[in-house]
Amino acid sequence: MINKKSSLRAWFKANLGFVVFVVVLCISRSSVADWYVVPTGSMKPTIVEGDRIFVNKMAYQLELPFTDIPIVKIANPERGDIVIINSIAADTRLVKRVIGLPGDKIAMMNNQLVINGKVIHYLQSADPALAIEQLPTKAHALQWVGQNTSMDHFSTITVPEGQYLVLGDNRNNSADSRVYGFVPKAQIQGKALKVIVSLDADNYYLPRAERLLHQLI
């Protein structure tokens, strides 16, 4: 037993730098910054399957490492932000875009948003499946593929205090607030900023050169 304890102490002494590095890395990924693999196309064309996205976990609050307990409030999510959600309702991690802020009145008619009584405009591209959604603070790409009459409209709803309405950019193929309801701020884990690298599963997982360090809008 003594020899085993001595050996363990010797190992830690010899590898102290590596141990410290691993601990700091884990704490950083938990509370400062992280990266996530996107497995679905619910945010196309902005984010595609296979993207590894960089997330600023301190964008909105600093949390106690390895928990969801906030220590310091930094900012509130803004309309148009792409956020990572540790969704209890969905029982999984989601990547969505913030559309409705606390107190907003939101409606959707035939896939057209109405925010606080103002109809949102869309610029069509040469591809009828793509458009630019002109949110009041940020314009971004949007995709419509297929029809989903159960999700392309809803009557005016008011976003409760401390919660947010989120939607996917692949508007007809996204399980978002229309399925799981409003998102409490405590479940928003950070803001997605850019694609680190993207691997194409249909092409032997080769990197997509055009998406390397691609900025997310």
Neighbour count for residue 88 (Cβ, 10 Å): 12
Spot the catalytic one: 31, 42, 174, 177: 42
42 is catalytic: yes
> Of 102, 96, 92, whose CA–CA distance to 81 is shortest?
96
Q: What are phi and psi of 149, to 5 degrees?
A: -65, -15
Q: What are phi and psi of 63, to 5 degrees?
A: -110, 155
SS3 call for 89: coil
Residues sharing a CB contact under 8 Å with residue 109, sequence separation 6 or more, in sequence order: 153
73 is catalytic: no
Spot the catalytic one: 31, 44, 57, 96: 96
How far apart (Å, rounded) are the C-alpha atoms in residues 64 and 84?
17
> Of 80, 35, 84, whose CA–CA distance to 198 is shortest?
35
What are the residue numbers of the active site? Answer: 42, 96
